[in-house]
Amino acid sequence: MNRKKLLIFALVAALVFLFFWFDLQRFLTLEALKGNRQALAEFHAGHGFLMVAGFMAFYIVQTALSLPGAAILSLAAGAIFGAAMGTLYAVIAATIGATLAFLVTRYLLRDMVMAKFGPKLEGLNRELEQRGLNYLLFLRLVPLFPFFLINLAAGLTRLPLRTFFIGTLVGIIPGGFVYCNAGASLATITSLRGIASPRVLGSFALLGFFALVPAIYSRMKPRKESES
């Protein structure tokens, strides 16, 4: 690992360490958000652009470093900016942060992982290169896979950056809207678990299945042609 990569790795590690050292996670709880909502709304009323820029910058850093608190930040977006604009700001910030995490992982770790597990990952890489967008949409839409883990895992593959960016941007809109819409009615929320009902999760799973249909069809088509 050259000096430039070491510096980036050290910076990322230092930021993550400081986050937990100062226990900044205590500000990313439902109770803290409810307690500070009025102050945040008043600051937004007087400093609109600064509030939007600061919120998005914080969300980008949180996502890029794979830190906890994404759900609370999405709720905060809805509580401060409203459901529609909150979704817009949260989705853009989360996509940028995820892309940075993707790039850092690819830049720092991919060569090392590929040198050790390259032959085993070749099949996965080939699928992602050919049908990566469909698979990524499925992973983003179905809330069974941790958001940060997808960012890191995708960075270890040959998935094109453009595909990752578009798949993430489109795939997180439904979930982002659910949380931002809930944040707009923050007073009625008692726990994070109650936000995504089984019906909502089922809808996401159905969307994820539809995203996979083109990939499934493209895999089955050669078999049908060979049989015929």
> What confidence score (pLDDT) does residue 142 get?
81
Q: How many CB atoms lie within 10 A of CB 214?
A: 13
pLDDT in tens, 34-51: 999 999 999 999 999 999
For the packed helices 48-64 and 70-81, what is the interaxial angle rounded to 10 degrees? 170
Q: Per-residue confidence at 124, pLDDT binned at 50, 70, 90? A: low
Query: Which tokens go with 152?
Result: 């890191």
Which sign, positive or negative, has the C-alpha torsion 138, 142, 144, 146? positive
Query: Which tokens go with 219?
Result: 């895999």
Report the number of distinct structural domains present in the chain: 1
- The torsion region of residue 23 among left (phi > 0), alpha (psi -120 to 50) and beta comes to left
For residue 144, CA distances in Å to 11, 13, 122, 139 come to 30, 27, 25, 8
Query: Which tokens go with 168?
Result: 């993430």
Phi, psi dihedral angles at 192 (to 5 degrees) = -70, -30
For the packed helices 48-64 and 83-141, what is the interaxial angle rounded to 10 degrees? 20
pLDDT in tens, 72-111: 999 999 999 999 999 999 999 999 999 999 999 888 877 7
Q: Per-residue confidence at 132, pLDDT binned at 50, 70, 90? A: confident
Q: Per-residue confidence at 217, pLDDT binned at 50, 70, 90? A: low
pLDDT at 221 over 90: no
Rounded Cα gap, residues 110 and 103, in angstroms: 10
Domain that holds residue 96: 3-227
Question: What's at 14, amino acid-wise?
Answer: A
Sequence-ordered list of residues with C-beta below 8 angstroms from that of 2, at least 6 positions apart, any chain: none
Q: Is 151 exposed, middle or buried (0-12, 13-18, 19+ CB in 10 A)?
A: buried
> What confidence score (pLDDT) does residue 118 get?
67
Length of the chain: 228
Sequence-ordered list of residues with C-beta below 8 angstroms from that of 51, at least 6 positions apart, any chain: 40, 43, 44, 80
> What confidence score (pLDDT) does residue 189 get?
85
